[in-house]
């Protein structure tokens, strides 16, 4: 007799505790909406990318390097509606950053430029990752946006430095000296006819 009675009380307790109060649910939804609005406003304030060319080389590359132009164009467009819009923008930026490695102009297809592109891609991918977390770390995203701006400017200065180095004329005899320093052109020393000096 005790077993069915205890089972009935236990089941009644479970069913009564599983039912949610609609007022509590509405309050939680309002609190979550306010939290999301604060997060959106903070990200909106921090989302300021610098896409202006800082030197003539960067300006000239906008017309000849379509991937760089598309990346800067996408970077300059700010989402306005919701956190979901920022998430979509971050995903698009990740794709555009990866495409920077495609069709790099021959004069700039160097390890220095590729490492700058890798740094930019890493920052953008991290922003994308953080925006897709359940608890969005706004402070980290704001810091990454500033670091991305630094990397974009550093990339432009790197391109300008490469351009300046390419425009330096060689002095008389410098080309011959560089050929002499080239170890791949050296005479092999393992010739069998050469006798050691005694």
pTM, two decimals, is 0.73
Q: What does the DSSP 8-state code read for residue 31?
A: H
Domain count, the chain: 1
In a domain, 84, yes or no: yes
d(CA 61, CA 164): 14
Tell me, what's the pLDDT at 189? 59
Q: Contact at 8 Å (CB) between 113 and 162? A: yes
Q: Which residue has the tokens 């351009």?
A: 163
Q: Phi/psi of residue 182, each to 5°?
A: -70, 110
Domain assignment present for residue 133? The answer is yes
Within a domain: residue 180? no
Secondary structure of 5-68 in the HEC alphabet? HHHHHHHHHHHHHHCCCHHHHHHHHHHHHHHHHHHHHHHHHHCCCCCCCCCHHHHHHHHHCHHH
Structure confidence at residue 14 (pLDDT): 60
Structural domain containing residue 156: 55-166
Q: What is the largest CA-CA distance in the chain?
A: 115
Q: What is the pLDDT of residue 124?
A: 95
**Residue 123 belongs to some domain of the structure:** yes
SS3 198: coil
Residue 70 lies in a domain: yes
Q: What does the pLDDT read at residue 164?
A: 87
What pLDDT is stored for residue 36 in this prediction?
A: 85
Place of tokens 């479970």: 14
The reported pLDDT for the residue numbered 130 is: 94
Residue 41 lies in a domain: no
- According to the model, what pLDDT value does residue 190 have? 60
Indicate whether 92 belongs to any domain: yes
Give 10-residue mean pLDDT values along the chain (198 residues). Answer: 64 58 78 86 90 83 88 90 90 93 88 93 95 91 94 92 82 72 65 57
The whole-number pLDDT of residue 119 equals 95
């Amino acid at each position: 007799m005790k077993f069915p009675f205890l089972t009935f009380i236990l089941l009644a307790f479970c069913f009564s505790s599983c039912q949610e109060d609609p007022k509590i649910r509405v309050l939680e939804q309002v609190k979550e909406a306010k939290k999301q609005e604060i997060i959106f406003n903070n990200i909106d304030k921090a989302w300021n990318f610098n896409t202006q060319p800082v030197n003539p080389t960067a300006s000239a590359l906008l017309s000849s390097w379509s991937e760089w132009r598309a990346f800067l164009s996408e970077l300059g467009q700010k989402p306005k509606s919701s956190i979901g819009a920022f998430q979509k923008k971050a995903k698009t930026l990740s794709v555009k950053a990866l495409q920077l490695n495609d069709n790099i102009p021959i004069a700039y297809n160097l390890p220095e430029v590729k490492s700058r592109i890798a740094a930019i891609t890493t920052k953008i991918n991290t922003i994308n990752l953080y925006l897709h977390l359940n608890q969005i770390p706004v402070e980290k995203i704001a810091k990454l946006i500033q670091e991305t701006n630094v990397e974009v400017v550093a990339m432009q200065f790197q391109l300008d430095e490469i351009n300046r180095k390419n425009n330096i004329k060689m002095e008389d005899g410098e080309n011959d000296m560089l050929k002499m320093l080239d170890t791949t052109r050296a005479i092999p020393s393992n010739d069998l006819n050469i006798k050691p000096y005694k």
